[in-house]
A and B are shown apart, each in its own frame.
Chain A
Amino acid sequence: MTTTSASQETPAQSPTADAIQRLRRNPVAKICLLYLALLLFVALGANFLTRYPYDFQDTQRYAVTPSPPDSHHWLGTDEIGRDILSRLLFGARVSLGVTAVVIVLEALIGISLGLVAGYRGGKTDLFLMRLTDIMFAFPDLLLAILLTAIIRSGNQALPGWLSFGPLFFALGIVGWPGIARLVRGQALGLREKEFIEAARATGVKERDILLRHLLPNLSGPIIVQITQDVATVILAEATLSFLGLGVQPPFPSWGTMINDSLRYLNSKPWLLLVPALMLAVTVMVVNFLGDALRDAFDPRLRQ
């Protein structure tokens, strides 16, 4: 990668600031950010933006559910009379919330392991590399399913949002090796650099070298990697929920909505189209943004 060398040649401005400037000139990135801001707003404000709670079953009103869109339920109701718009918006909250927690989790594990391994090298590094090898060879979806299934069968029902715990844990465990490898590779390259040598010579503690000197110089690649992981995690949550192993009722998830809609493909295809569109567009936007970020941090890759 070339970001690091570039960062030292232009000390006047940090690479992050550089990148942000480039990003601001990119119209695609602007649109993507706008979409994500909107999605975040909708997710956070779902309580105020929707007319019905996500689990309210409006069964008195309709003789047959799912019911098509009308003035009460703008996108219709699902098979037990719940407002699809509400579930879509709260589904955004679930999707973004799960993603946020999982990303923080895998970043914490991945960055700290990667830093230590890359900086120390030797046996620590070898061990980490072997571990990531194993994790990469492990079919990730199987591992995630296995972990959620196992954790969820603990003898206690987890109340409310805590019921997402197994999902957080499983996706976090599956996700960290990518970041760890990246950080390790970068740290390996940086540790021989003069400013690190200098810091070490002046007796700066290892922890401070890692956090104050190494980490800030890695922010670019990490941000790019994390953006790519965001798309992966959104997808993983939706996929697990689609398989019935992710988000559990009564909480909504786009993946669950897609799976539920399959039973009505013949007669009520909009049940599929609404959450499918939402999921696809969101993942697409994150991918576009990821590309834009990569270009911004590493202009040489741009063609």
Chain B
Amino acid sequence: MQGLSIFSRRTVLLLSALSLLALNGCNTTNRNEGGASTNTASAGNVLRYPLTTEPTSLDPAKVEDGTTIDLIQQVFEGLVIWSDKNEITPNLAENWDLSPDGKTYSFHLKKGVKFHNGREMTATDFKYSLERACDPKTKSQTVQSYLKDIVGATDMNLGKAKGISGIKVVDKYTLQITLDGFKPYWLGNMTYPCAYVICKEEVERNGGEINESNLASTTGTGPFKFTEVRRNDLIQLGAFKEYHGGTPKLDGISRPIVKDAGQRLNKYQVGELDFVEISPADLDRVQGDATLKDELKSFPRAATWYIGLNQEAKGSPFTKREVRQAIAMAINKEEVIKVAMKGQADLANNVIPPGIKGRNEHIQPLSFDPAKAKQLLAQAGYPDGKGFPELTFSYRNDYPQVSLAAQVVAQQLKTNLGINVQQRPMEWAQFLTERKAKTLALTHLRWAADYLDPQNFLSTLLHTSKKVNGQEDHPENGMGYNNLEFDRLCDAGDTEKDPIKRAEFYAKAEQIAIDDAPWVPIYFQRDLELIKPRVKNLKDSLFGHRPHVATEVTP
């Protein structure tokens, strides 16, 4: 009977009281939505916006989802940060020198930066933080992507070394980081949470963990500190008065956890929230409302959604350039955006999203042209789609917009080319496994930038991949695309020190990628938000809102 003891008598009494309330008191208890929810702070000088999910972790070394990054970047900081012009700018590092061989950065830290507990932050803290992130015990999933270029980081992460040999504390305010090669795009990696500085003594006091059971372990240098973390309910942050960038304008930030989109919108409308992200599906409610319509804003994000045409899949027809071009010209991107995205995305003719320096602004796109597409397909040996191999169209099934866009594309291929594709919505885990095995011929997926540089799109995604020591050197080229001229241009761009020449190399490479159509870019992502007029000075980069140092609210 052990199992039943949880239903204590007290609970039963309480519950019966509640049910009576439920049965008799609907009108009185619930008319005032504001009173019903205990989880909203008074408006005041506090910015209130919802968390759409429970934060995955409060540990910067572990965080990888956008929602949680937005939360912890108010508390923790790194050496550098993306500006609202999408450029790398100093944050905890005042400036830095690069050695002549381009491999060693010497960061000169800002002096007098204080942790939330009052102690001064120094170069030692950075060394500790980066090494803790790479320690296999920390189980960080992100260091392999963002810190691997630092000499010795991988060794430590694999348990082969006790520290990172490429990181040196020169003096209290100078941190030296050595890379395994010249990488002009590398600083972007240092904006990621796993490179943020944490406070050693507070973390060690909490057994090496950073979590809500001891909020002191979340001591950082950021403009805000956690004051309250209530699971499934609410997270509150308070301003850090001694912030090195000046006292924040806000007294605090309140983040109620509201998982349902409709409910977020409701709370926004009754004035409990200052801004909310909304999905394209909510658009028509928003646009039907005069007030909401004016408060709708959309923000471009550094992500390209595309149709992948994998040449390596078994029996893939995409080895023929004409077939790929035919597919590219048979897809009516405008219609996909109108129907599936409800108009809220930017049509993509480039591989690289707008706002990233070095993108080809004069690209010659393969525009929608069904007649030309048919002709190309016939040239490839499949007139009216006859004899075209059975194709499976794979996409993840957990986001409605992805599924809808894929279905629209499937119909376009059928109508415009006479190609029938078998749709295969998949679970994310399965999709990832098969995509990595490169067995999926036709896919709809996205590439979200790690850092804002053409290299992260062109070289990372489309450079021919060769096996070096049993490992692919460009594992993200999931399309089996290979074009020597394209490779040459990318290689030149990756190691060029003059930014203007670099941009030229990438511009030529991008045009080749569009002409060859190894994949078809469909749209660049936009995030939709409703923002109350009382919110001022909200700064944004392609990765999302920047920390709310300057954000203001009027009461």
A and B touch in the complex (CB under 8 A): yes
* B340 nearest in chain A by CB position: A80
Give chain B interface residues in 405-422, CB to chain A under 8 Å.
Answer: 407-408, 410-411, 422
State the CA gap A159–B420 with chains docked (Å).
Answer: 11
Interface string of A72-98 (1 = CB under 8 A from B): 000000011100000000000000000
Q: Are A55 and B426 in contact (CB under 8 A)?
A: no
Interface string of B399-440 (1 = CB under 8 A from A): 010011001101100000000001111110110001000010
Q: Are A55 and B398 in contact (CB under 8 A)?
A: no
Report the stretch among A21-29, A34-42, A213-221, A260-268 that lies at the interface: A260-268
How many B residues face the partner with a CB closer than 8 A?
A: 36
- Closest chain-B Cβ to A158's Cβ sits at a distance in Å of 9
A80: chain B residues within 8 A (beta carbon): 339-340, 404, 407-408
Most buried by B among A65, A160, A244, A263: A263
B339: chain A residues within 8 A (beta carbon): 57, 59, 65, 80-81
Interface string of A246-279 (1 = CB under 8 A from B): 0011100000000010111111100000000000
State the CA gap A178–B411 with chains docked (Å).
Answer: 43
State the CA gap A159–B261 with chains docked (Å).
Answer: 34
B434: chain A residues within 8 A (beta carbon): 155
**Contact for B281 among A56, A59, A79, CB less than 8 A:** A79
A244: chain B residues within 8 A (beta carbon): 397-398
* B404 nearest in chain A by CB position: A80
State the CA gap A244–B339 with chains docked (Å).
Answer: 21
**Contact for A157 among B261, B338, B394, B400, CB less than 8 A:** B394
Q: Are B285 and A266 in contact (CB under 8 A)?
A: yes
* B398 nearest in chain A by CB position: A244
Interface string of B513-527 (1 = CB under 8 A from A): 000000000000000
Interface string of A205-249 (1 = CB under 8 A from B): 000000000000000000000000000000000000000100011
- Closest chain-B Cβ to A197's Cβ sits at a distance in Å of 45
State the CA gap A155–B423 with chains docked (Å).
Answer: 14
Q: Are B338 and A59 in contact (CB under 8 A)?
A: yes
B279: chain A residues within 8 A (beta carbon): 263
Q: Are A159 and B427 in contact (CB under 8 A)?
A: no
B439: chain A residues within 8 A (beta carbon): 155
Q: Are A265 and B397 in contact (CB under 8 A)?
A: no
A152: chain B residues within 8 A (beta carbon): 426-427, 430
Q: Are B408 and A59 in contact (CB under 8 A)?
A: yes
Q: In the complex where A65-B339, A155-B439, A264-B284 touch, is A56 in contact with B426 (Cβ < 8 A)?
A: no
State the CA gap A55–B407 with chains docked (Å).
Answer: 9
A149 contacts partner chain B, Cβ-Cβ < 8 Å: yes
- Closest chain-B Cβ to A66's Cβ sits at a distance in Å of 8
State the CA gap A65–B422 with chains docked (Å).
Answer: 24
A199 contacts partner chain B, Cβ-Cβ < 8 Å: no
**Contact for B426 among A153, A250, A265, CB less than 8 A:** A153
Q: Are A248 and B284 in contact (CB under 8 A)?
A: no
Q: Are B423 and A249 in contact (CB under 8 A)?
A: yes
Q: Are A159 and B411 in contact (CB under 8 A)?
A: no
State the CA gap A152–B434 with chains docked (Å).
Answer: 13
**Contact for B425 among A55, A160, A249, CB less than 8 A:** A249
B427: chain A residues within 8 A (beta carbon): 149, 152-153
Q: Are B262 and A266 in contact (CB under 8 A)?
A: yes
- Closest chain-B Cβ to A195's Cβ sits at a distance in Å of 47
* B403 nearest in chain A by CB position: A249
- Closest chain-B Cβ to A261's Cβ sits at a distance in Å of 10
State the CA gap A255–B22 with chains docked (Å).
Answer: 29
* B332 nearest in chain A by CB position: A59
Q: Are A250 and B410 in contact (CB under 8 A)?
A: yes
Q: Are A260 and B284 in contact (CB under 8 A)?
A: no
Most buried by B among A56, A57, A152: A57
B262: chain A residues within 8 A (beta carbon): 262, 265-266
B282 contacts partner chain A, Cβ-Cβ < 8 Å: yes
B70: chain A residues within 8 A (beta carbon): none
B491 contacts partner chain A, Cβ-Cβ < 8 Å: no
A interface list, Cβ under 8 A from B: 55-57, 59, 63-65, 79-81, 149, 152-153, 155, 157, 159-160, 244, 248-250, 260, 262-268
Sample 28 A-B pairs with CB under 8 A, ordered by A number.
A55-B407, A56-B411, A57-B408, A59-B335, A79-B404, A80-B339, A80-B408, A149-B427, A153-B427, A153-B429, A155-B434, A155-B439, A157-B392, A157-B394, A157-B422, A157-B424, A160-B422, A248-B397, A249-B407, A249-B423, A250-B407, A260-B400, A263-B279, A263-B282, A266-B262, A266-B265, A266-B282, A267-B288
- Additional pairs, 16, CB under 8 Å, beyond known A152-B430, A155-B434: A57-B339, A59-B339, A59-B408, A65-B339, A80-B408, A153-B429, A153-B430, A157-B394, A157-B422, A159-B390, A159-B422, A249-B403, A250-B407, A264-B281, A266-B265, A268-B284
Closest 10 CB pairs of A and B: A263-B281, A157-B392, A153-B430, A157-B424, A266-B285, A267-B285, A59-B339, A267-B284, A248-B425, A57-B411
